[in-house]
Structure 1
């Protein structure tokens, strides 16, 4: 996993999780505590509530990304840029300042006037955005999005059959859409990937976001640091039926999990609390990087075949080898004597781990081997059929 330098701030596995606080200079933005149109008041908010609470990065939004509002043109965003520039010039604290925009023209102007990085919610839909970021040698957060400046994050509206193939679309899940969207139009050396949590279109479901969160480790296969924006999002609030105001606890729980799964930046309105939660996740995450006497050793965070496949594809290897990169472990109870014997025999033929004691059986092996073992067992012991189908569903 490569690290990224954002105006001297290290981002990646070699660094602690970074907190991105939010300042909006857009009167239509839905979260009132972060909205300011007076530069002095905005600067005080940044110093006290963002940097003062532990924000490493301050993300400044010129317009609301809420799909219910009209999209501003580049000229309209530029009209608001003076307020943003005057605000950051008045800040006394030290932070990296990010401009949230979909337009290369706005990014260019903001970077020339003191901003340090870019947050592109349209995922390089403006083809000049990567060039501008390379020219200024700045970090850029790229959110998964269609190649359309008017529809950030609306991946359900993409004709995936036309982009890839009808077969790919039939087999793809929502997280696959996210992954493919992040790859479109390429990545700069200083790109930070954002898997686009939130209600970016009417078609997107809460389960889409939950699937993306469950598969968060896969996005490490892009070999770039990862930003997540999950603060008080609906897919978390709906778990325990909380309002936005009541949703801080679920956000903090998810923050720790996201960092443990590989997120490097957490974008939030609740800086101090989110920082604490991120540090908990970081403390209990696995140690991924080691030095092997001058050779860098990185333990890839792989728990599923899909996660392994992402890394193999990145390295240009054979994706089919992913089935040999992971091991699954199951305990089965309630087996009949015939099923137990058949399972033990099939496991031995595949060199899988089979241990038994009391009523339980521990079965461990590569996913492809376990699927074959289950199929053979069902042939030899028909009562094992329902269990074989369940294992097949789990193993994918």
Structure 2
């Protein structure tokens, strides 16, 4: 996992989780406490409510990316950029300033005016964006998005996130963002929940991960909370996201999110060990999908993914005859079979590939064992 240097701020496994506070200069943005059109008032908000509360990065948005609103042109964003630049000049606190945009012209003008980082909500749909970020040597958060400047983050299936993130490649300082939120009519709350379940997979890119999950619908729906009541579910998800590998958390609730992120970090397993020139990293692999992403990152055949994760399951209620069948077939499938001393409980230890072979090899006329083995983890 590479560490990205964002204007002196380290972002990666070896750094603390970074908090990205949000300021909007767009009247359309739904979270009104973060919306300003007066640069002096905005600067005070940034100092007192973001930086003083623990924000490492301040992300300034020029427009709402909500699908209900018309997309601003680059010229429209440049008009609003004047307010954002005035805010950066007026802030007294120390933070990395990120400009949220989809246009390379806006990113370049912002960097030249004092911004340190780019948050590209269209994931390099503008093919000039990576060039600008490389020329100015700035970090860039790349959100998964179709190759269309008018459809930010409108990825409709979870598996499409991978192709979207790979659009027009990566810079040396790219941070990946899997794009949580209702960016399109087709995207469902279940899609966001699946993305969150699979968050570890995105570590396969070997790049830091940014998540924007603050008060999102897919979390509020679980607990039946309104936006105003959703802080608790956001904080729970923040700790889980950091434990699963997120490095930057974008939020409106800076102080509380910082605490939740630190808890997630505290209880994340240490995975890197170094001896001399050799470093050993235990990869964050819990599914065959996780393993496949790492193999793909190395340019290797992904077929071994099914043999890369060991799962352990306990079975009870197995008859003597069924136990004998499993004992024979497990060896052939490459699955370890262990019977408890009371013979009522047994363990199966194997890879998803081994469990798939076991399921295929068992011939169970009455179907009881077959039905049980259908529930073995084979992915």
Contact 1:378 / 1:388 at 8 angstroms: preserved in 2? no
Contact 1:13 / 1:289 at 8 angstroms: preserved in 2? no
Q: Which residue of 2 aligns with 1:319?
A: 302
User: Structure 1 regions of 5+ residues with no counterpart?
Assistant: 157-173
Q: Which one of 163, 171, 174 corresponds to residue 188 of structure 1?
A: 171
Distance 2:87 2:43 in 1: 5
Write out aligned runs for 1:120-269 (5 A): 120-156=120-156, 174-269=157-252
Q: Deviations over 1:77-120 (max 9, x none)?
A: 11111110111111110000000000000000000000000000
Distance 2:73 2:368 in 1: 64
Residue 369 of structure 1: CA displacement? 1.2
Distance 2:133 2:365 in 1: 61
Q: Which residue of 2 aligns with 1:363?
A: 348
Structure 1 range deviating more: 115-124 or 287-296: 287-296
Distance 1:146 1:297 in 2: 36
Distance 1:385 1:348 in 2: 17
Distance 1:233 1:55 in 2: 20
Distance 1:102 1:374 in 2: 49
Residue 379 of structure 1: CA displacement? 4.2
Q: Which residue of 2 aligns with 1:300?
A: 283
Residue 355 of structure 1: CA displacement? 1.5
User: Secondary structure at the residue paired with 2:22?
Assistant: strand
Q: Which residue of 1 aligns with 2:12?
A: 12
Residue 361 of structure 1: CA displacement? 1.3
Q: Which residue of 1 aligns with 2:39?
A: 39
Q: Which residue of 2 aligns with 1:285?
A: 268
User: Secondary structure at the residue paired with 2:374?
Assistant: helix
Q: Which residue of 2 aligns with 1:376?
A: 361
Distance 2:168 2:138 in 1: 17
Contact 1:342 / 1:381 at 8 angstroms: preserved in 2? no
Q: Which residue of 1 aligns with 2:55?
A: 55
Q: Which one of 320, 323, 338 corresponds to residue 340 of structure 1?
A: 323
Residue 374 of structure 1: CA displacement? 2.5
Structure 1 range deviating more: 361-370 or 269-278: 361-370
Residue 380 of structure 1: CA displacement? 7.1
TM-score, scaled to structure 1: 0.93
Q: Which residue of 2 aligns with 1:169?
A: none
Q: Which residue of 2 aligns with 1:163?
A: none
Q: Which residue of 2 aligns with 1:103?
A: 103
User: Secondary structure at the residue paired with 1:175?
Assistant: coil
User: Secondary structure at the residue paired with 1:19?
Assistant: strand
Distance 1:104 1:267 in 2: 22
Residue 76 of structure 1: CA displacement? 0.6
